Amino acid sequence: MTNLIASGWQYIFGIAGIIVAVLAAWFTGKSKGTTEAKSKADVETANQTVKQSQAATDKQASIIKVAKDADQTNQSLSDDAARDRMRKSKYHADD
């Protein structure tokens, strides 16, 4: 038995090294998986934010287009036609 222990230190160190390597790989893989999951969630959040801001930009562009069209239409009217148009508007109230 003493002879086995005296000559087997290399094997004991080899087995301990393998165990340490397996444990290190397991903990490294676990933290890498957590990091990848967090980065995927961050990318999804960023994509959702981009979609929301794009929708807001499109809505603002359509509002600006409607306002410019109305402004252009109003500029092309004569004074009498503009007065009639305002009087016949659904927002006009007789005081």
- Which pair of tokens denotes residue 71? 């402004």
- Which pair of tokens denotes residue 54? 């794009």
Is this prediction's pTM over 0.75? no
Amino acid type, 41: A
Query: What span, in angstroms and rounded, lies between the C-alpha atoms of 78 and 56?
Result: 36
Domain ranges of the chain: 2-87
Which pLDDT tens digit goes with each residue over 13-50? 778 888 888 888 877 777 777 777 788 888 889 999 99
Mean pLDDT of 40-62: 91
State phi, psi for 8 to the nearest 5 degrees: -100, 10
CA distances from 69 to 3, 58, 61, 64, 85 (A): 99, 17, 12, 9, 16
